[in-house]
């Protein structure tokens, strides 16, 4: 299939644009430390209250106390659960951290130049990550390379579906309204690439340090090795 057919690029974040260590050694511990007091202080705020109710729903415990909700959220962080209300609340806590300058969003050095080049060439850029859309916008908005959000046409998270299910990628294609073969998906995770391919997308596996290369999808080590 000719690379010239690529009209849109959808990229994962962890292990693809961003070192997994940034997520697991900076963002997750920050949220773990700050989330309890954030919830206690903001539980009555409508946006926070909505997510607290969503946690209770996932717990199947509509009368759960705030402290029980907090304990559940911390357990989800400990066990790296991809739970939508957790992601939303983490995003709110991270927003404070980014805005305070406690950290910036890590990007591999090859990412921003490639994104700028692709966007300049007329490729539409999208993000699909298990982190919430808010967290995605924060990472790219407060990135090591400054505010990159103007480069992106849209963002997808687990509201569209889980990343290892072909139906999720079909929903993304429906939103983009593009032929499947004209959309390229980038990820470090073979199962995600498999699901995207089942939906008809082109795929590339990013093999960063510590990533196990698969045998089915074209592998690249850096964004500047991707010809589109």
The pLDDT value given to residue 220? 96
The pLDDT value given to residue 28? 87
Is residue 218 pLDDT above 70, yes or no? yes
pLDDT in tens, 84-118: 899 889 989 999 899 999 999 999 999 999 999 99
pLDDT in tens, 116-167: 999 999 999 999 998 889 889 999 999 999 999 999 999 999 899 999 999 9
* β-strands 152-156, 183-187 pairing: unpaired
pTM of the model: 0.85
Query: DSSP per residue over the chain, as a string?
Result: --GGG--EEEE--BTTTB-HHHIIIIIHHHHHHHHHHHHHHHTTSHHHHHHHHHHHHHHT-TT--HHHHHHHHHHHHHTT---HHHHHHHHHHHHHHHHHTS--B---TTHHHHHHHHHHTT-EEEEE-SS-HHHHHHHHHTBTTB--GGGEEEEE-TTS--TT-HHHHHHHHHHHTS-GGGEEEEES-HHHHHHHHHTT-EEEEE--TT----SSS-EESSGGG---
Radius of gyration of the chain (CA): 18
Mean model confidence pLDDT for the chain: 94
Nearest residue to 22 (alpha-carbon basis) of 164, 142, 151, 189:
142
Is residue 184 pLDDT above 90, yes or no? yes
Share of the chain above pLDDT 70, in %: 98
The pLDDT value given to residue 2? 42
The pLDDT value given to residue 212? 86
pLDDT in tens, 69-81: 999 999 999 998 8
């Amino acid at each position: 299939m000719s690379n010239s057919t690529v009209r849109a690029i959808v990229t994962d974040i962890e292990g693809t644009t961003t070192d997994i260590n940034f997520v697991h050694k900076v963002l997750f511990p920050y949220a773990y430390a700050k989330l309890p007091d954030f919830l206690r202080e903001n539980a009555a705020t409508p946006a926070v209250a909505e997510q607290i109710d969503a946690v209770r729903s996932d717990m199947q415990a509509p009368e759960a106390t705030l402290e029980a909700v907090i304990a559940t959220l911390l357990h989800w962080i400990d066990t790296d659960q991809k739970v939508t209300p957790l992601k939303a609340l983490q995003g709110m806590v991270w927003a404070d951290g980014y805005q305070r300058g406690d950290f910036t969003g890590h990007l591999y050095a090859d990412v921003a130049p490639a994104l700028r080049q692709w966007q300049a060439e007329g490729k539409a850029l999208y993000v699909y990550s298990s982190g919430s859309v808010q967290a995605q916008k924060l990472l790219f908005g407060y990135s090591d390379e400054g505010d990159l959000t103007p480069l992106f046409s849209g963002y997808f998270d687990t509201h569209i579906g889980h990343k290892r299910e072909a139906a999720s990628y079909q929903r993304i294609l429906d939103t983009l309204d593009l032929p499947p073969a004209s959309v390229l998906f980038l990820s470090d995770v073979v199962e995600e690439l498999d699901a995207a391919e089942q939906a008809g997308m082109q795929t590339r596996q990013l093999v960063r340090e510590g990533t196990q290369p698969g045998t089915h999808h074209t592998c690249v080590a850096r964004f500047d090795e991707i010809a589109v």
